[in-house]
Amino acid sequence: MIAKTRKQEFWGGVRDEAPILLGVVPFGLLFGALAISAQLGSLASQAMSAIIFAGSAQFIAAQLVASGSSGLVIVLVVFVVNLRHALYSASLAPHVRQLGTGWKLLLSYLLTDEAYAVTITHYNREGDAPDRHWYFLGAGLTLWSAWQASTAVGIFIGAQIPASWPLGFVLPLTFIALVVPALKDRAGVVAALVAGLVGLLAFGLPYKTGLLLAALIGIITGLVIEGRQK
Amino acid sequence: MNIWVIMIIGGLLTFATRLSFIFLLDRIKVPDWFRRGLRFVPVAVLSAIILPELTSPNNTLFLSWRNPELLAGLVAILVAWRTKNVLLTILAGMAALVIIQLLFGHFGF
């Protein structure tokens, strides 16, 4: 166990999170600009970054709002897309169990993919210590600040872009850029194809409920194929 | 549902997910199928949005080589596959869309 002061821990988290911002800030800018072009309004766009505070779920929510999906479908999709955070929560739980409720609430709010990545690495490398959670706070707050600020700048930029530009097409392109590199094995590829095809066939279902059906069938297909390969 | 209601419920659910095990400690184990299934969530959800979006640009099915969004989407998929670069993929897809729309518009392909 290496004991450090609160200040050292906090700034350690800030320092380790900083390089990751290079990858996060462009997405914040893009989100702000696209949310505006999806007619979300600048206040709601900024609020979404503070309230949901999860990149991919925010992009999807903006897209679904723009295409007139029902509120229930949007809420369910956001929930499912963010379910992975339960794994991060489980993985960090033993390290923060001694903290009070206030700390647990605050750190949970700040628990994003990027904050988790550096924080769990820190715990694994340095072990538990009384003030270790200040590192988590430093990393989480750094990402939070960058995400809010880049959203704000993106909203400003988005408001300057003429409405005639086909900016709406950037959203599906962003999704393509996220999905295609993630297809690393047969189970993933088939899951994507099945989800896409069911989404297409079920497109006529009201309020985009076809999206939920398609995602569910895609996930189950992926699990089945992966199970068979073992 | 109002956009603010959607955001607040979506935000609360996300927060509850993040808080779940931190609050319940590690009394509950994450089931294995859940852990494995999560990997397919983004891929399935995003694909289920992408394909209808490319084939039905104006909310009506337009499955044809004369559909500029579909062609530009295929270009983007190719670029994403070869480069794994988000910015390049977006730029290539947008450029393809603009060029294809110009070609169809001006030369009546």
Report d(CA A53, CA A96) in Å as an integer.
21
ipTM for the whole complex? 0.87
Share of chain B above pLDDT 70, in %: 94
Q: What is the mean pLDDT of residues B1-21?
A: 94
If you average pLDDT over every residue of chain A, what do you get?
90
Q: Say if B72 is an interface residue toward chain A (CB within 8 Å).
A: yes
Structure tokens at A9: 């821990």
Q: Which residues of B touch A178 (CB under 8 A)?
A: 42, 46, 86
Q: Output the pLDDT for position B36.
A: 87
pTM above 0.95, yes or no: no
Q: Output the pLDDT for position A45.
A: 96
| DSSP codes of every residue in B76-89 | HHHHHHHH--HHHH
- A192, B44: Cβ pair inside 8 Å? yes
Q: What is the mean pLDDT of residues B27-43?
A: 82
Q: Output the pLDDT for position A56.
A: 86
- B51, A40: Cβ pair inside 8 Å? no
> Is residue B29's pLDDT more than 60?
yes
Mutant choice from A43, A83, A169 vs B, greatest count of B C-beta within 10 A: A169
Q: pLDDT digits over A23-45, tens only?
A: 789 889 999 999 998 888 999 99
- B48, A188: Cβ pair inside 8 Å? no
CA geometry: angle B72, A188, A84, nearest 5 deg = 105
Q: Output the pLDDT for position B53.
A: 87
Report d(CA B53, CA B60) in Å as an integer.
10
Helix (H, G, I), strand (E, B) or coil at A14: helix
Domain range list for chain A: 6-70+82-160, 183-229
Report d(CA B33, CA B40) in Å as an integer.
11
Q: Output the pLDDT for position A2.
A: 60
Q: Which residues of B touch A84 (CB under 8 A)?
A: 38, 41
Q: Output the pLDDT for position B106.
A: 66
pLDDT grade, residue A1 (50/70/90)?
low
> Is residue A178's pLDDT more than 90?
no
Q: pLDDT digits over A109-153, tens only?
A: 999 988 998 999 899 888 888 899 999 999 999 999 999 999 999
- B19, A104: Cβ pair inside 8 Å? yes
Q: What is the mean pLDDT of residues B65-74?
A: 93
The residue written with tokens 């394909």 in the block is B51
- A172, B38: Cβ pair inside 8 Å? no
Which residues 17-46 of chain B have a CB within 8 Å of chain A?
A: 17-26, 30, 33, 35-46
Cα Dmax for chain B: 67
